[in-house]
């Protein structure tokens, strides 16, 4: 009887749609306009770092790693029950969005983990939280990111936690993304970045990189290019990790029930330098906490300093470079050498990928006054520190703690979500 009823309803609604002659999928959830063109590649193991780079990062190819967390490589997978989180991180403050359907209004709560755990099964809230150092001790670095340059461009780990039923906007990110599902199920609609002209034709918000399309009710008249948009379907289960390439469009739904994921953001690497890979074991079960890399990378203010400059220009040439770093009091010869180190291809222009690839930790050790300069504590400069920094940055981006700011900036540009400082507007590096 029930089946018959469903059948009749299905026939009736089919009939209604046909006779109204609306485009298929009109006012329905994203993806109903046509069957998916397929699903993405599935693997049971992580690739080597080189394969990761060539096939997936440079090849811009999404891939899902089925059941990979069952192999025991991510301690959080087994550890992160509510009681463990309460016991270990209960007093830490976390960022929580009001509303499970994403609206990009950045209406955030700042509450403790314990308060979140008390509320999340009952209230319409979604934790989107930049994992603290102690939390990231429970998260290992995916083995395919341990060498070649990936390890230097890992930016942060975000924790996504709710009782399910969340819906993200359709958006893309200016970073590569490895997302692992610790609990629950997620459903993704993914659209190739090559379809930019169609996806972004109407209602695209540049400042935030998302579509205004209502993912639950696609208006095929307002978004005519969506009528035939090819898409990929991904069903993630607990224990799966997915690689979402830089700039691929995606919309993420989570199914009802406890839902907990972490994702690792990585700057988009444009060159792979395999020279450290022989000496670095990268077998899948190797456990190295991601905390170590995040801490190392957060110290590299110099990278963000240069990337900040590269937001509104394509390259940095010697004369600009010299003016920029002169206030550090560093010898001209040292600066010249640094310029040469950064300008890997020797064309006289430092571009983004060269900044990303440079071993800035080593460089900073050799030129410690640069560290002071980029942190706004220049011992050689008597002018107001905040002001000298302010000149080189968008005033909106200035916060008291520059280190924190750099960190937030990375988040804000890509952004699924604006995690720590809702007031900040994003200066997207994506447009480079």
Ligand X SMILES: *[C@@H]1O[C@H](CO)[C@@H](O)[C@H](O)[C@H]1NC(C)=O
Q: CA-CA-CA-CA torsion for 134, 138, 139, 143, nearest 10 degrees?
A: 120
Output b/e per residue, 270-309; b: 16+ Cβ within 10 A.
bebeeeebeeeebeeeeebbbbebbeebbebbbbbbbbbb
CA dist list (Å): 168 to 88, 157, 213, 239: 29, 18, 11, 21
What is the nearest approach in angstroms of ligand X to the Cβ of residue 292?
A: 18
Q: What Rg, from alpha-carbon coordinates, does the chain have?
A: 23
Residue closer to ligand X, measured from CB, 307 or 363: 363
What is the nearest approach in angstroms of ligand X to the Cβ of residue 273?
A: 4
Strand order in the sheet with 249-254: 232-237, 185-191, 249-254
What is the nearest approach in angstroms of ligand X to the Cβ of residue 242?
A: 28
What is the nearest approach in angstroms of ligand X to the Cβ of residue 359?
A: 6
Q: Where do contacts with ligand X occur on this chain (CB under 6 A)?
A: 93, 110, 273, 275-276, 344, 357, 420
Helix (H) or strand (E) holding 96: strand 93-98
Handedness of CA 23, 187, 196, 394 (dihedral sign): positive
What is the nearest approach in angstroms of ligand X to the Cβ of residue 95?
A: 6
Residue closer to ligand X, measured from CB, 66 or 298: 298
| Distance, CA of 258 to CA of 82 (rounded, Å) | 10
Residue closer to ligand X, measured from CB, 14 or 366: 366
Residue closer to ligand X, measured from CB, 93 or 187: 93
What is the nearest approach in angstroms of ligand X to the Cβ of residue 173?
A: 21
Residue closer to ligand X, measured from CB, 66 or 353: 353
Residue closer to ligand X, measured from CB, 28 or 132: 132
CB 55 within 8 A of CB 250: no
């Amino acid at each position: 009887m029930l089946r018959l009823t469903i059948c009749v309803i299905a026939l009736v609604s089919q009939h209604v749609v046909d006779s109204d002659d609306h485009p298929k999928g009109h006012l329905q959830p994203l993806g109903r306009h046509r069957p998916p063109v397929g699903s993405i590649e599935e693997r049971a193991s992580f690739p080597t770092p080189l394969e990761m780079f060539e096939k997936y990062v440079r090849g811009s190819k999404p891939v899902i790693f089925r059941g990979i967390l069952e192999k025991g490589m991510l301690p959080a997978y087994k550890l992160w029950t509510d009681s463990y989180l309460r016991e270990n991180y209960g007093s830490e403050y976390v960022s929580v969005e009001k509303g499970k359907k994403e609206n990009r209004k950045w209406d955030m709560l700042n509450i403790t983990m314990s308060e979140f755990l008390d509320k999340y099964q009952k209230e319409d809230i979604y934790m989107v939280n930049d994992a603290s150092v102690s939390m990231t001790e429970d998260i290992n670095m995916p083995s395919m990111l341990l060498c070649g340059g990936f390890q230097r461009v890992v930016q942060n780990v975000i924790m996504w936690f709710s009782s399910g039923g969340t819906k993200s906007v359709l958006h893309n990110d200016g970073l590569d993304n490895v997302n692992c599902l610790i609990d629950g199920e997620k459903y993704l609609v993914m659209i190739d970045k090559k379809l930019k002209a169609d996806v972004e034709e109407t209602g695209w918000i540049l400042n935030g990189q998302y579509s205004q399309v209502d993912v639950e009710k696609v208006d095929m008249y307002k978004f005519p290019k969506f009528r035939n948009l090819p898409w990929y379907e991904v069903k993630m289960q607990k224990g799966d990790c997915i690689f979402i390439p830089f700039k691929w469009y995606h919309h993420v739904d989570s199914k009802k029930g406890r839902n907990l994921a972490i994702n690792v953001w990585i700057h988009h690497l444009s060159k792979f330098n395999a020279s450290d890979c022989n000496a670095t074991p990268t077998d899948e079960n190797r456990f190295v906490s991601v905390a170590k890399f995040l801490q190392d990378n957060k110290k590299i203010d110099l990278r963000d300093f240069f990337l900040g400059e590269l937001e509104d220009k394509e390259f940095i040439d010697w004369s600009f470079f010299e003016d920029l770093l002169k206030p550090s009091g560093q010898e001209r010869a040292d600066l010249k050498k640094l310029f040469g180190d950064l300008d890997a291809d020797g064309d006289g222009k430092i571009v983004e990928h060269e900044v990303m690839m440079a071993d800035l930790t080593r460089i900073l050790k050799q030129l410690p006054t640069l560290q002071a300069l980029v942190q706004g504590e220049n011992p050689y400069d008597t002018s107001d520190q905040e002001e000298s920094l302010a000149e080189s940055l968008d005033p909106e981006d200035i916060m008291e703690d520059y280190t924190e700011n750099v960190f937030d900036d990375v988040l804000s540009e890509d952004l699924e979500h604006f995690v720590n400082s809702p007031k900040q507007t994003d200066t997207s590096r994506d447009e480079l």
